């Protein structure tokens, strides 16, 4: 739901600015699951990739002096900082607890208790 909401923020912003939006299919990941760490590492790599895309758009907006777009992207820059930290923290926790059943149980309980709050960004 969180990722869908983020996509819809971009969609709504583009619609509000009369920009055409085309949806295309998303390719299946090109890696295999491997051990328990592989999805976490791939997740962090993906968050860094998304950050690089947002930074590229931000740089173009800065160059064009498109302050409205920069203002919207400020929220995403902050969000990506949180996403990268969460992914990195999860890797650290798995490195600490990965082979301990009690540690994994505690980590699972922690992750299950996370509550999603929809973004309140006003476009």
- Distance in angstroms (rounded) separating the CA atoms of residues 58 and 8: 18
- The parent domain of residue 104 ranges over 36-113
- Would you say residue 86 lies in a domain? yes
- Would you say residue 30 lies in a domain? no
pLDDT tens, residue order, the chain (123 aa)? 898 999 999 999 999 999 999 989 988 888 888 888 899 999 999 999 999 999 999 999 999 999 999 999 999 999 999 999 999 999 999 898 877 888 888 888 888 898 888 887 776
- Would you say residue 106 lies in a domain? yes
**Residues 6 or more apart in contact with residue 84 via CB below 8 angstroms:** 44, 47, 48, 51
- Distance in angstroms (rounded) separating the CA atoms of residues 119 and 6: 8
**91 and 41 Cβ atoms separated by less than 8 Å:** yes
Residue 98, both tokens: 């990965």
Question: How many folded domains does the chain comprise?
Answer: 1
- In this structure, what CATH number is given to the domain that contains residue 79? 1.20.1260.10
- Write down the pTM of the prediction: 0.85
């Amino acid at each position: 739901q969180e990722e869908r909401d983020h996509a819809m923020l971009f969609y709504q912003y583009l619609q509000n600015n009369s920009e055409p939006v085309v949806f295309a299919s998303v390719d299946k990941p090109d890696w295999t699951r491997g051990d328990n760490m592989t999805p976490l590492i791939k997740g962090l790599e993906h968050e860094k990739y998304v950050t690089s895309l947002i930074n590229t758009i931000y740089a173009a907006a800065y160059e064009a002096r498109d302050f409205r777009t920069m203002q919207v992207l400020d929220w995403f820059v902050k969000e990506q900082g949180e996403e990268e930290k969460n992914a990195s923290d999860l890797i650290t926790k798995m490195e600490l607890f990965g082979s301990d059943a009690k540690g994994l149980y505690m980590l699972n309980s922690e992750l299950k208790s996370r509550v999603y709050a929809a973004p309140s960004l006003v476009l």
